[in-house]
Structure 1
Amino acid sequence: MSTPFSNVYSYFMPKIEDYNFLQLNKEDLESILEPLLLTSIIKFKKCKRDLSKRDILSKSFIEDLSDEEVNILAQLMTVEYLTPKLLTADLVEQQVSTNEYKTYSQANHIKEIKSLRDMMQYEASRLITSYTYSENKMSDFR
């Protein structure tokens, strides 16, 4: 049994609102989502499945992932999705503008994105911690 990458994408998409995604065909959308997923895999070090075992051609994990594991990957994808939004050229350009209103407005916008990304990272960490300890018994801690 295997888990297609599209399963993870279906958990990820409701977590964000990017109307630009609605305009993309399936191949273009996957070309955006796949790097987010691959970067997220690196951050899910405590996964009980071997996430490095995947078939890039069929766009799937070799092992069958649980819903919890898929959800953790999707949550990590939200962090990866938000991170570059903090570093876009438009944001940097507007932030150094001489117009005080734009500077204040853009600074607040950056602050809100950072706050949201930090909140998504915290939630991902919480999910991973819960996942890591969910199957352990008290005897495992002795």
Structure 2
Amino acid sequence: MSNAIESRIAELGLTLPDAPAPAANYVPFVQSGSLVFISGQISNGPDGLICGTLGDDTSVKDGVAAARACGLALISQLRAACGGDLTRVKRVVKLTGFLNCTADFTDQPKVVNGCSDLMVAVFGEAGRHARAAVGAPSLPLGVAVEIEGIFEIA
């Protein structure tokens, strides 16, 4: 379905991936009232999984790109939750980012900005959200970043 949000995504030179299938015993999203809770989306780009450890073998710049990839997957899941119509999105409520990083890595907020900046670029003021950025000693499949989100829809 063509709409203003899809047009903005195209103007940004981005393409949404297909909504990723769950990797285990869970559903990709749950709607409760007007809120959509999207399960953690791992960093997966056009060339496959984006793996690595921030503060070791992965730069902040590469982490930002991984977080942006998570954001694209979140928007894909959101599109599925909205029946293909992203204009139903009223607000990005909260993002929680998890980073595979060393114990002394402290730039989690800079990395998760890759996703946060994408939400604002795509949804404008409705893309501004509450957020957490957390370091972890490992993530599923060795990915660099995983981000979950809560969204309000009409």
When the two structures are superposed, what TM-score results if normalisation uses the length of structure 1?
0.28
**Higher relative contact order, structure no. (Cα contacts within 8 Å, ≥ 6 residues apart):** 2
Structure showing greater radius of gyration is 1
Structure (1 or 2) with the greater helix fraction:
1
Structure (1 or 2) with the greater strand fraction:
2
When the two structures are superposed, what TM-score results if normalisation uses the length of structure 2?
0.27
